[in-house]
Structures are given as structure tokens and as C-alpha cells.
Amino acid sequence: MKDIREPIESRQLNLSSALLALSVLADSGIEHYRGSFQNRAMYTPLAVATLTLGASLFGVADRRPQGHDARDSIYLLAAATGFVGLAFHAYNIGKRPGGLSWHNLFYAAPIGAPIALVLAGLLGKGAERARRPPGERASSVLGDRVGRTLAAVSAVGLVGTVAETALMHFRGAYHNPAMVLPVSVPPVAATLLGAAACAPRRSINRVARWWLKLTALLGFAGVGFHAYGVSRNMGGWRNWSQNLLNGPPLPAPPSYTGLALAGLAALELIEKDSGAKATRERA
């Protein structure tokens, strides 16, 4: 018989954190290798992303309805590392000739990339909080707002990812009509998810689920489109060692899948927390 206490949504949040950590690990590995690891600090996100990936996979396999202190600490480290990485990337752009210009935003260290590690940490910490039973969550700092908070984090993360995608696809002049999809579908999902976080309604949640599922599929499809883009470079996949560095980046699109899965889990938590609150009020 299935244990009703099994933290399904929490494990789904751990999975979303794992996808984001894997995306950071692969993307940072490629980009920092292309930069020849000139700054030794460029090894840091690889190490932290590896730790976060391991902790998240542990969380996915962990069926216990309690949080884990080690995972919680790793997620905090991931979020802090992401913020530091954002400062490094901003400094990298600012020190170049021209400072904050379109050229530097296109070709310098990607300004939004470290935020994926921040999101992996925040969603992972949310997963540990959500492992508590609804009664225990009610007495915690966030109370019955765990699901709503995670929905807001996922929505903001989607908006930021769309902004980064829009910048890179603008650099590519949207030469493929499919490049419009990741800057048109996820914003709708983010808007609906934000609405669910602010004022939960079953009707809004239902529509948001469909758009989030579409966004998750778009993340997987994006890997295929990017693989096709790599094949169009000179030498195609036979010259993979150079063309993988030239892009488009294969690890980038799964970020949409990870954030969409987190949004779906957040919607489930919102409904469960609302039901638990109604039960307590009747009692």
C-alpha cells in the first residue's frame, strides 16, 4: 500500500534541482573550458554543481518525509555560489572595452548563467521544507505558503531564463522560426504560475499545468534543436570538439524543463496546503 506521507512533490522539486544543477555543470564546463580556466575560481561552479546534483539525486531517491541537513547545507552553498558567480560575470562584462554594451552582453560571460545555480539551490531548499507534513509546515516560517513561495520562485526563474534566451536568440537574429518558441511559451506559463502564487484558484492552476507541461516538453525539444544547430556548423558533429564550444549550447534548454517541473510540484503543494488549512479551520 502506498504511503500517503511519501513526499512526491518534494522529490519532484529535487528532480528539478538536479536538472538545473546538471545544466550548470555541463554548461559551465564547456564555457569555462573555452575560457581555459584562466581564473581558478572558474572551477568552483563545477564542484558546487556536482555536489548539488548528487544531493538532488539523493533527494529523488529518498522517500522519507523528513528533510536532510546535509542536502539543505549543499543547497544553501549552491545559492550562495550562484550569487557570487553573478557578481563575477557582471565584473567580466563591466571591465571590457565598452562596458555594458550589446556586444559584451552577447560575447562576454553570460550574465544570467549563474542564476541557474541559485535556482537549483532555492528549489532544493524548498524541497527540504516541503517534506514536512502539512501540519508541521503550518507552524514553520512560511506556514501554508511553501507552495506559493516555490511557485513564485519558479515563475521568476522562468522569466529570467526567457530573458537570457531572448538575448542569445536575438544575437542569432531568430534565423529559425522555432527560436521564437522559448520566448513565447514559457512567459505564458510564468504569468499563470505567478497568478497561482498570488491568488490560487483551481481554474488558474488547471490552465497553468497545461502551459507548464508544454514548457517542460519545450526544454527537451530545445536540446534537439540545439543539436541540429551544432550539426550546421562547419564539420558538423565530426568536428564536435570545436562545434560544441561554438554552440548553440546543448545544456541550456533543460533549464526550462527543470523550472516547469518545479512549477508543477508547487501547484500540487498549493492545493494540498489549501486543503489542509480548510481542514484545520473546520476542526
Note whether 81 and 192 are same-domain residues: no
In a domain, 278, yes or no: yes
Domain span including residue 103: 1-131
Q: What DSSP designation does 272 have?
A: H
**What is the amino acid identity at position 10?**
S
Residue 209: band (very low, low, confident or very high) from pLDDT cuts 50, 70, 90: very high
Number of Cβ within 10 Å of residue 34's Cβ equals 12
**What is the amino acid identity at position 183?**
V
Residue 63: band (very low, low, confident or very high) from pLDDT cuts 50, 70, 90: confident
For the segment 220-241, the average pLDDT, to the nearest whole number, is: 89
Per the structure, how many domains does the chain have?
Answer: 2
Residue 6: band (very low, low, confident or very high) from pLDDT cuts 50, 70, 90: low
In a domain, 82, yes or no: yes
Note whether 54 and 117 are same-domain residues: yes
Note whether 235 and 187 are same-domain residues: yes
In a domain, 139, yes or no: no
Helix (H, G, I), strand (E, B) or coil at 27: helix
Note whether 182 and 52 are same-domain residues: no
Residue 60: band (very low, low, confident or very high) from pLDDT cuts 50, 70, 90: very high
Note whether 266 and 162 are same-domain residues: yes
Note whether 126 and 149 are same-domain residues: no
Selection from 66-70, 138-142, 211-215 with the highest mean pLDDT: 211-215
Higher pLDDT, 245 or 15: 15
Q: What is the pLDDT of residues 11-36, one digit of tens each?
A: 999 999 999 999 999 988 888 888 88
pLDDT at 227: 92
| Residue 109, H or E segment | none
CA distance linking residue 94 with residue 113, whole number of Å: 16
**Helix ranges (DSSP H) in the chain:** 8-34, 44-61, 69-94, 102-107, 115-130, 134-138, 146-171, 185-198, 202-231, 240-246, 254-282
552577447: which residue's cell?
Answer: 106
Which domain-ending residue is among 131, 154, 184?
131
Which domain-ending residue is among 105, 131, 157?
131
Q: Is the pLDDT of residue 225 over 80?
A: yes
